[in-house]
A = this chain, B = another copy of it.
């Protein structure tokens, strides 16, 4: 996969752009004024894989709390701004490394210039965030969905021009929609039109169980086409869950190194002679605590078993009452079914 070439934006030491790895981010979901809880949630997000964390600061008390939070965490924070230029400037002064802004939601051009000048003075990056649900050009209900990609792109052009005219270029762009095809389409268009890094997200994707697949399809497609420099999965619930989904998407594409065991399992069919699913579940449980990027294959027949074994650190091809164990593709033992797990774990300890 070749990443689309972009500029590089420095967000408090974390680089966003094609010269850097794709950064996972999420957003806190507790009151920003509850500094202790907020710090705890941020730390959990970092542990889960976030390289950046976003915090909403709708009120003056929130930007005041932000200064305290910044001082207590080891990750650059992004302030999420809507409507208020005062909040934006306060957040910048409080130590946000980046602010997220929909310029369409800021009242006046003067306000926008005030934010830009403050960001420049403090070396703070800006994400220009356009959202299908906030298109302001026209009464949105009147614009058929098929025409909204063009409208979002037009909005983005107008906003970018304001920043460029003011000679401000540490920009990251995002265009979000709750519709998967439109998210793909609008980001392809933005990738084509600009050289700035892109923040990807499928917005309002639903509860985690509903959000997982549309998010993987939308973000996965774009990433597989080289588009996207930082990503956020949006799901209603614990942001650690969002982060885990984002991490899984990146890992599946090889854009993030695995830290745990990867389990390759045949889906089973009428050829299976032993209960592969139970065996795989037991293996998964047994390796849950192992923080090594090993690949283990649990296969049920000789059609693809030896082939998958060749790519795995360890593998078992299980047939009637027994399993053939493989280490790095070489068959090392034949064991009775009830000894498969024990022998696999013994081998694992030796890797």
Contacts and interface: CB of A to CB of B under 8 A. Distances in A.
A27 interface: yes
B184 A224 contact: yes
Interface string A168-211: 00000000001011001000000000000000000111110010
A29 interface: yes
Contacts of A133: 304-308, 310-311
Interface string A136-164: 00001100010000000000000000000
B297 A204 contact: yes
A264 B205 CA distance: 6
Contacts of A334: none
A310 B133 CA distance: 8
Interface string A39-69: 0000000000000000111100010000000
B265 A206 contact: yes
B141 A264 contact: no
Contact of A141 (B30, B58, B178, B329): B329
What 3 pairs across the A-B complex have the smallest Cβ distances? A133-B307, A217-B220, A216-B216
A121 interface: no
A221 to B, nearest CB: 4
Given A145-B311, A214-B252, 15 more contacts: A30-B270, A58-B271, A133-B305, A133-B311, A141-B310, A180-B252, A181-B254, A203-B304, A205-B267, A206-B262, A206-B263, A217-B253, A221-B224, A236-B266, A237-B267
A249 interface: yes
Contacts of A58: 270-271
B267 A27 contact: yes
Q: Interface range on chain A: under 10, 10 to 19, 20 to 34, or 35 or more?
A: 35 or more
A70 B248 CA distance: 40
Contact of A252 (B30, B132, B217): B217
A32 interface: yes
A270 B307 contact: no
Nearest to A267: B234
A339 interface: no
Nearest to A33: B270
A248 to B, nearest CB: 4
A269 interface: yes
A277 interface: yes
A275 to B, nearest CB: 10
A307 B131 contact: yes
B140 A307 contact: yes
A212 interface: yes
A204 B267 contact: yes
Contact of A213 (B181, B203, B205, B216): B216
A348 interface: no
A109 interface: no
A134 B267 contact: no
5 contacts: A132-B307, A204-B264, A216-B216, A221-B221, A225-B225
Contacts of A62: 270
A316 interface: no
A32 B264 CA distance: 25
